Amino acid sequence: MIDALQAMGSILFDPYLVVLIFITTVLGVMIGVLPGLGATTGAALLLPFTLTMQPVHAIAVLATIYVSATFAGSITAILINTPGTSAAAATTFDGYPLAQRGEAGRALGIAVVSSTIGGVFSVIVLCIAAPMLARVAYEFRPPEYFALALFGLSMLASISAGGTVRNLIGGVFGVWLATIGAEPTTGIERFMFGNYELYEGLAFVPVFIGLFAMSELLIQSNRVNQVVDKITMKAVKLPSRDDYRRIWKTVLRSCGIGTFIGILPAEGATVASMIGYAEARRWSKNKEEFGKGAIEGIAGAEAANNAATGGAMVPTMVLGIPGSGTTAVILVGLMVHGLRPGPYLFTEQVDTVYQIFGAMLLANLLFMAMGLYASKLFARISLVPLQLLWPIVFALATIGAYALSSSLLDVWIALIFGVIGFLARRNGFAVAPIAVGLILGEMVETNFQNSLKMFDGDWWQILTQPLAALFLVLAFLGLFSSPIANWFSRRRS
């Protein structure tokens, strides 16, 4: 533990990294307050530009964007009733009504303090839980990793954005995308159509840029002339001690909820914030205030969504299973920089791991100061005309797609997946399951093949492995628990 603390503290003696975290925190807050961008889009845009950095600096940048942009969505949620990120949607329920009553500073203060506590709590849990889980992961072999990947895919069914069936369709589509290229064992070409640049499969970076950045550009093109109501902040009156006494139980409860939800593969901050808000209302003595400006509602949502950021990093770094759309991008960053996610990361590159944790902790403390004293300034960024913003985003996305391997094919891939993402989102499909399916598809195929080699082709022997059987049962329950419960309910009635 002492070595871990020393590694985390060592970032303070790297002036370049500290400055980089500060700049990235400012950039993350700016990205978070721009409705439509968000942490995932920001991380996807910045990913190609981190390729020339040292691995620690690159992952620190992506992790910092994650935590700071997740918080910053609450600024616009409170001031203009438009969540900068989907994770801040629950904050609008009480944040905007409170701001309309002339208490915007109070709402922002509650949001930033709750977010900071949630973020710091989740990083502490990350520091403790990740090494413990890494020791357990040493027992994992191909059958266990195959079952774990299926469990991760089954969790897509519970993401709230698109609905169970649509999310599973998106995940299956992502798995199919992972089969493009040469088959690992035999070298047989699959879905290449004579294009040998696809021999090693689709590159993650241009696909992610297309799905998250390009598709958002097309979605936002329908809102160019949208006018939003905004709250004028003449003075910022921060919360009182009585406010903090009212919310501390809610914040602690949401910290636990958010961290737990974040650890579950494929869940993320949006689900955590909704559950945190619902639980805050359920346990509150003043339920009638919710929806009219209840500070417990703001605290419950904000503590949960930022606590989910650290929680989502646990399966990402230990098991290679992304805990959210943004951690899917961070996972790609780890692989691009040669940092293999898994238990060996915590033995072979332990200093690197804890420096990343330290960067996340520092970012949480930095955005607290920014949120308390610069909210009015950052809120003005949300008023940048979309006619100016999105051409810049398109240029950055195109440059980023090309920069990976200096290939025009990657630019075309980004554009194609931008259209695919746009059509999917317009028809009620979320793009995160596609990204998760693309990442986990290779894991499913490779570990299934290795399992067959272990058991001489007897696939059923996978079920004889206790951990693998446990994950397969959990995957089955994740997919069919709701229909089974409905069936029993109908039988009773």
Residue 473 has which token pair?
A: 């049962």
Write the pLDDT tens digit of every residue in 248-272: 888 899 998 888 888 776 556 777 8
Helix (H, G, I), strand (E, B) or coil at 406: coil
Q: Which residues fall within 8 angstroms of residue 386, CB to CB, at 6 or more apart?
A: 220, 223, 224
Residue 331 CB neighbour total at 10 angstroms: 26
pLDDT of residue 227 exceeding 80, the answer is no
Looking at residue 415, its pLDDT comes to 92
Residue 217 CB neighbour total at 10 angstroms: 20
Q: Taking the model in full, what pTM does it have?
A: 0.76
pLDDT of residue 370 exceeding 80, the answer is no
Spatial distance between the Cα atoms of 252 and 31, rounded to a whole number of angstroms:
27
Q: Would you mind telling me the total number of residues written for the chain in this entry? A: 493
pLDDT of residue 212 exceeding 60, the answer is yes
pLDDT of residue 53 exceeding 80, the answer is yes
Which one has a higher pLDDT value, 450 or 219? 450
149 to 119, 182, 406, 443: CA distances (angstroms)? 27, 21, 32, 7
Flag the least confident range among 174-183, 401-410, 414-423, 467-476: 401-410
Give the rounded distance of the alpha carbon of 82 from its chain centre.
19
pLDDT of residue 3 exceeding 70, the answer is no
3-state helix, strand, coil in the chain (%, to 5): 75, 0, 25
pLDDT of residue 420 exceeding 90, the answer is yes
Spatial distance between the Cα atoms of 195 and 192, rounded to a whole number of angstroms:
5
Residue type, 327: T
Give the rounded distance of the alpha carbon of 466 from its chain centre.
30
Helix (H, G, I), strand (E, B) or coil at 163: coil
Write the pLDDT tens digit of every residue in 59-84: 888 888 888 888 787 887 787 776 76
Handedness of CA 329, 335, 337, 339 (dihedral sign): positive
pLDDT of residue 483 exceeding 60, the answer is yes
Looking at residue 417, its pLDDT comes to 92
Classify burial at 249, counting beta carbons within 10 Å of its beta carbon; exposed 0-12, middle 13-18, buried 19 or more.
Answer: middle
Flag the least confident range among 50-59, 109-118, 329-338, 392-401: 392-401
Helix (H, G, I), strand (E, B) or coil at 189: strand
Residue 427 has which token pair?
A: 């028809």
pLDDT > 70: percent of the chain? 87
Contact 29, 369 (CB under 8 A): no
User: Residue 416: which pLDDT band, with cuts at 50, 70 and 90?
Assistant: very high
- Report, as an integer, the average pLDDT of 386-399: 77
Helix (H, G, I), strand (E, B) or coil at 401: helix
Looking at residue 381, its pLDDT comes to 60
Write the pLDDT tens digit of every residue in 118-160: 888 888 888 888 887 777 777 788 888 888 888 878 877 655 5
Spatial distance between the Cα atoms of 274 and 290, rounded to a whole number of angstroms:
13
* Domain boundaries along the sequence of the chain: 2-152+202-407
pLDDT of residue 458 exceeding 60, the answer is yes
Write the pLDDT tens digit of every residue in 273-329: 878 888 888 888 877 778 778 888 888 888 888 888 888 888 888 878 886 778 888
Residue 377 CB neighbour total at 10 angstroms: 11
Spatial distance between the Cα atoms of 318 and 346, rounded to a whole number of angstroms:
8
Which one has a higher pLDDT value, 488 or 302? 302
pLDDT > 90: percent of the chain? 2
- Report, as an integer, the average pLDDT of 413-432: 88
Spatial distance between the Cα atoms of 16 and 359, rounded to a whole number of angstroms:
12
Please spell the DSSP secondary structure of 233-258, one letter per residue.
Answer: -SS-----HHHHHHHHHHHHHHHHHH
Spatial distance between the Cα atoms of 154 and 473, rounded to a whole number of angstroms:
11
Average pLDDT of the chain, as a whole number = 80
Looking at residue 231, its pLDDT comes to 53
Residue 93 has which token pair?
A: 């329920």
Contact 64, 16 (CB under 8 A): no
Which one has a higher pLDDT value, 227 or 273? 273
Write the pLDDT tens digit of every residue in 328-338: 888 888 888 88
Looking at residue 27, its pLDDT comes to 87
